[in-house]
Amino acid sequence: MDSIDAVLTTHPPRFDEVEAAAIGGDVFGVVADGAVNLGSERDQTFLLTSSRAPAAVLKVSNSAESTANLDMEALVVAHIARVDPSLPVARPLMHLAAADPDAPLSYRALVGASQAHWCRAYPVIPGRLRCNPSELSDRAVIAWGETVARLARAMRGFSHPSAHRVLPWDLKAVPMVRGMVAAIRNPEWSTAVEQVLDRYDTAIAPRWESLRAQVVHGDLNVDNAIVDDDGMISGIIDFGDMSHTALITDLASVIDSLVLDRTGDDSFRIARLVLDGYQRVTPLEADELLVISDAWAARAAAGIAIGSWRSAEGLEDPEFAERDLVRLYAVLRRILDTGFDEAAQRVSGISPMRSRDELIRRREDVFGPAAEPLTYDEPLLAHHASGVWMYDANGDRFLDAYNNVPCVGHAHPRVSEAIARQSRLVNTHLRYLHPTAIELAERLLATCPAGLDTVLFVNSGSEANDLAWRLATHVTGRRGALCTHFAYHGISEAIAPMSPEVLYKQQHSDHVERWRPADAYRGEHLDASQFVEALARLESKELPPAAVMLDGILQSDGVQVLTPEYVRDLARRTHEAGALWIADEVQGGHGRTGEAMWSFQRFGIKPDFVTLGKPMGNGHPIAAVITRREFLEDFADATVIFSTFGGNPVSAAAGLAVLDVLEDERVLPRVAAAGQMLRTAVRDATRDVSCVGDVRGMGLANGIEIVGPGSKTPDPVAASNIKNAMKRNGVLIGTTGAAANVLKVRPPLAFTEREVPVFVDALVASLRGLDLAE
């Protein structure tokens, strides 16, 4: 046990009250006629009184205490006062012989004849010491967490050579308390302590080097904090345990202290409240959250071991120590009975990964039969993702060539940070003035042709189309609509009829007519005749069109590459028919084609409405309608447009971050190049593969059409088999088209030329594995 700091093995000083009062007066000029011994583990602390009223606090240090440690304490308090002067930290008084307030020596004086001790004096902070933690209100508990975080934040820039000492209750030194376990008299307690120490070795030790570290207070608990009548910390005292260690040490310490005497589940609730308060100031990193409950357990275990050892060594009154040990063991028992993993989840809220089969069953139970089925024969249990890679619960990674929503890449730090930062600041709605949505609207308008001058924010592509449709019917006074044969535009009652992809025949509505878009692979419908016929059908039903809705990359219709002439012709006919054009950019927008920000721009048309969704917030829900002011003027006389979440500051921050990344990473040219290379490489690799009928696309919106050998007959079974084989070969794709025979290759725009060979290798392996390579 030689590595233990000598202050722990040396008996505390033994001054009496009269001597203490005399020191106060002689050394620090405190007028005191009495003193009360407040008791302390290693030192002596006295409340000096004058006519029974508190006058000052006198602290007599252990004879083994180093002056460097004492100076570090004086320096840190001065540091904290500079950084966060509102923190209620006890600042020492200068002694009478001192002149320089910046010199740490001004705050300590040597007293005692036979045995020399350093003394310090502090002003009295009003409030109560050693409050009963179980009486603290929830509000006070949260405030404790906040104060602890503020204290650590104020100490962040402080350093001192003495801080690199080792004290046994420091989280980093917990393994050394193994040597004290033999002193624990109760065998159940020692078994429990050992279990926690084992857990420390497997859960904390391997992460130790990567946990954020700095100089921290080290022992923030009810013994070292003075509270006001509301239980709020009004004084932080005793920096005698500070050291350079993991940041979460203080948090573990305060949780350990505040859960004392709480029963049952309440301990975990209190721990969570402390954590909430802490994270209002300093959000924890993922690893810190993972180990916080283990750190709490480790503090409790160390407390039992150290307390037992000190009382066995005669350094503490065994009866006094025993009372604390019983309370600490109750805490430990609760963690052990709950189980370390479950306790970790209850404190941090991070849910453990469940088994795939269990989740599939529970999903069916709660989502019911109408929910879209899971993709792939062996559904992916997504654990985390980054850029174009998704990882399952086993750590297996998959090249994501399917998901368009994380447009600038899964978990892009710019977007994640923007969301987190704004949600910490304020999230409200557009009835309050806030810059984010206004800036986002301005940035979006700057990407649009003149005339599109107004932005309305909503929350999903469906809502955007719904609102555009509502405005179109209002403006034109009509009810007819046109969409492509197998379109999907959304889920709402108004838009579902324009989403034939998910409609049964009997659900088709009279007021919606469909046309088959140009299919260059089969050389079909290359002119506007299908569209003209659909228009005529509407007119014949006396349902003239209010709007035409087009997804410019035709994702649901099998990814068709339309020519500008063709679409311009349709747009002209639409306007001639008195209808409005809704460019649905939910799929094709935000640079998907690599040619322009919006897919309608490749056709050179001027839509009346542009609807945005999916990629707009990189996964965070936000959507918009961009339209012309004139359409809203009459509408505004009748009603207002308000969506509670539409354009809220957090969503808008996500939207802005996406636009920033698209610019900063020069995403559009990268998309164009990657798409070009992908199509060329797939064509080259499948030249002799008869089931691959066509490889087409724009930028990173691509389709690979799977057909019967020697024909152009769609083969949905082969397409589905290839999709599942690709998953087994580590690449995620989907299928699309009216016949479900087109492989949908629509990766996050973080997909670059580097990923092309990975994709092509998996495709070739999948075709070979299915005997489709010929």
Binding interface with ligand PLP (CB under 6 A): 460-462, 465, 488-491, 551, 555, 584, 586-587, 613-614
Residue 361 CB contacts under 8 Å (≥ 6 apart), including other chains: none
> Which CB atom, from 292 or from 616, has the smaller least distance to ligand PLP?
616
| Other beta carbons within 10 Å of 265 | 11
Residue 631 three-state SS? helix
Shortest reach from residue 165's CB to ligand PLP, in Å? 57
Shortest reach from residue 693's CB to ligand PLP, in Å? 24
> Which CB atom, from 303 or from 621, has the smaller least distance to ligand PLP?
621
> Which CB atom, from 173 or from 553, has the smaller least distance to ligand PLP?
553
**Rounded distance between C-alpha atoms, residue 232 and residue 216, angstroms:** 20
Q: Tell me the two tokens of residue 485.
A: 């044969």
> Which CB atom, from 145 or from 613, has the smaller least distance to ligand PLP?
613
Shortest reach from residue 265's CB to ligand PLP, in Å? 38
Cα dihedral across residues 444, 448, 453, 457: positive or negative: negative
Pairing relationship of beta strands 382-386 and 389-392 according to DSSP bridges: antiparallel
- Tell me how far the alpha carbon of residue 279 is from its chain's centroid: 12
The residue sitting closest to ligand PLP, measured at its beta carbon, is 461
Q: Tell me the two tokens of residue 68.
A: 């460097």
Nearest to 697 by CA among 727, 664, 736: 736
Shortest reach from residue 517's CB to ligand PLP, in Å? 13
Strand order of the β-sheet with 34-37 is 34-37, 44-50, 53-60, 117-122, 109-111
Alpha helices (H) along 259-398: 266-281, 286-312, 318-338, 340-348, 356-367
Nearest to 488 by CA among 554, 421, 395, 413: 554
Residue 740 CB contacts under 8 Å (≥ 6 apart), including other chains: 714, 716, 719, 720
CA atoms within 13 A on the CB side of 449: 15
> Which CB atom, from 491 or from 765, has the smaller least distance to ligand PLP?
491
Assess contact for 705 and 693: CB atoms under 8 A: yes
Residue 114 three-state SS? coil
Shortest reach from residue 452's CB to ligand PLP, in Å? 18
**Rounded distance between C-alpha atoms, residue 732 and residue 729, angstroms:** 9
Listing DSSP states for 337-353 in one string gives: HH-HHHHHHHHH--PPP
Shortest reach from residue 654's CB to ligand PLP, in Å? 14
**Rounded distance between C-alpha atoms, residue 321 and residue 672, angstroms:** 71
| Other beta carbons within 10 Å of 361 | 10
Residue 213 corresponds to which amino acid? A
Shortest reach from residue 584's CB to ligand PLP, in Å? 5
Q: What are phi and psi of 676, to 5 degrees?
A: -60, -45
Q: Tell me the two tokens of residue 184.
A: 């624990």
Shortest reach from residue 486's CB to ligand PLP, in Å? 11
> Which CB atom, from 288 or from 551, has the smaller least distance to ligand PLP?
551
Residue 596 CB contacts under 8 Å (≥ 6 apart), including other chains: 602, 668
> Which CB atom, from 239 or from 488, has the smaller least distance to ligand PLP?
488
Assess contact for 734 and 667: CB atoms under 8 A: no
Shortest reach from residue 433's CB to ligand PLP, in Å? 27
> Which CB atom, from 163 or from 742, has the smaller least distance to ligand PLP?
742
Assess contact for 622 and 653: CB atoms under 8 A: no
Shortest reach from residue 592's CB to ligand PLP, in Å? 11
Shortest reach from residue 305's CB to ligand PLP, in Å? 56
Assess contact for 484 and 517: CB atoms under 8 A: yes
Assess contact for 253 and 219: CB atoms under 8 A: yes
Radius of gyration of the chain (CA): 35
The torsion of the CA quartet 331, 337, 341, 346, rounded to 10 degrees, works out to -60
> Which CB atom, from 316 or from 400, has the smaller least distance to ligand PLP?
400
> Which CB atom, from 133 or from 621, has the smaller least distance to ligand PLP?
621
Shortest reach from residue 513's CB to ligand PLP, in Å? 18
Shortest reach from residue 456's CB to ligand PLP, in Å? 15
> Which CB atom, from 701 or from 706, has the smaller least distance to ligand PLP?
701
> Which CB atom, from 69 or from 587, has the smaller least distance to ligand PLP?
587
Nearest to 443 by CA among 614, 653, 629, 599: 653
Shortest reach from residue 487's CB to ligand PLP, in Å? 7
- Tell me how far the alpha carbon of residue 418 is from its chain's centroid: 10
Residue 713 three-state SS? coil
Shortest reach from residue 650's CB to ligand PLP, in Å? 17
> Which CB atom, from 89 or from 586, has the smaller least distance to ligand PLP?
586
> Which CB atom, from 501 or from 665, has the smaller least distance to ligand PLP?
501
Shortest reach from residue 488's CB to ligand PLP, in Å? 5
Assess contact for 89 and 121: CB atoms under 8 A: no
**Rounded distance between C-alpha atoms, residue 23 and residue 120, angstroms:** 10
> Which CB atom, from 106 or from 509, has the smaller least distance to ligand PLP?
509
Assess contact for 53 and 36: CB atoms under 8 A: no
> Which CB atom, from 141 or from 658, has the smaller least distance to ligand PLP?
658
Shortest reach from residue 90's CB to ligand PLP, in Å? 56
> Which residue reads 């690199």 in tokens?
164
> Which CB atom, from 62 or from 465, has the smaller least distance to ligand PLP?
465
**Rounded distance between C-alpha atoms, residue 761 and residue 756, angstroms:** 9
